[in-house]
Amino acid sequence: ETGVTQTPRHLVMGMTNKKSLKCEQHLGHNAMYWYKQSAKKPLELMFVYNFKEQTENNSVPSRFSPECPNSSHLFLHLHTLQPEDSALYLCASSQVQIRGGGEQYFGPGTRLTVT
Amino acid sequence: AQTVTQSQPEMSVQEAETVTLSCTYDTSESDYYLFWYKQPPSRQMILVIRQEAYKQQNATENRFSVNFQKAAKSFSLKISDSQLGDAAMYFCAYRGNQNAGGTSYGKLTFGQGTILTVHP
């Protein structure tokens, strides 16, 4: 595997279900991110993890719970979601460094549908 | 807070022609980075080009180049010799310098996106 991978690619869940999204980066990066992409809205940053520590939580509802067990893996645990949470969830990683672009590399996304 | 604005929801171009996508941003920081990302129908977000604000020279990557106007806070993307594979949603994004101690550490702020259609 290369780059950033995400599983599953598609997920349909009921509002009472609990599921998890998984992201894995194979780039040796030290920061990972969750973004939400809804129709007709800009990408919204949800969470940032830097060296496994959460450095940003963009006022995300508690029904979304991130977990970063190491610098290569990132999870997004989902429970009691609402239909408006249906969206494409993108994971990204980057190398945090003193100088440099720190470009973020994205995974293919998980298309989530909440019924 | 930083904001990024893409005023063109949709653009179209003939194959082999040139097209320019617009982006403006608002920030109080002096040191930052700007990016253009491409998202084709596969939904995979792909980095197209990067510009560092402290560099006056416009970035270029093959057929892609930018026109960076720091004073005007403008960052447009020019695609030359357009190809069918260039059809995608294009996003402009801003990131503050990670060592600046500012609030935009590691965070990308995206514009709304521009859908580019390439006609054969």
Separation between Cα atoms, residue B112 and residue A54, nearest integer Å: 26
User: Where in chain A does DSSP place strands (E)?
Assistant: 4-7, 10-13, 18-25, 31-37, 44-50, 53-57, 64-70, 73-79, 87-94, 105-106, 110-114
Distance to chain B for A28, nearest Cα, Å: 16
Q: Tokens standing for B31?
A: 């040191």
Residues of A in contact with B61 (CB under 8 A): none
- Is residue B25 classed as helix, strand or coil in its secondary structure? strand
Residue B106 to residue A108, Cβ atoms within 8 A:
no
Which chain A residue's Cα is nearest to B112?
A42
Query: What tens digit of pLDDT does each residue of B20-45 get?
Result: 999 999 998 888 899 999 999 888 89
What chain B residue is nearest to A9 in terms of C-alpha separation?
B43
**Is residue A112 within 8 Å of A9, Cβ to Cβ?**
no
pLDDT single digits (tens) A3-41? 999 999 999 998 888 999 999 999 999 889 999 999 877
Confidence of residue A95 (pLDDT cuts 50, 70, 90): confident
Closest residue in B to A39 (Cα) is: B112
Q: For residue A103, which residues of chain B lie inside 8 Å, CB to CB?
A: 35, 47, 50
Taken in order B47, B27, A36, B88, the sign of the CA dihedral is negative
Whether residue A60 lies within 8 A of chain B, CB to CB, comes out as no
**Local confidence pLDDT in tens for the 120 residues of chain B:** 689 999 999 999 999 999 999 999 999 888 889 999 999 988 889 999 999 988 889 999 999 999 999 999 999 999 999 999 999 999 999 988 755 454 445 678 899 999 999 999
Write the burial class of residue A107 (CB in 10 Å: 0-12 exposed, 13-18 middle, 19+ buried).
Answer: buried
The CA distance from B14 to B90, in Å, is 17
- Residues of B within 8 A of A41 (CB-CB) are 112
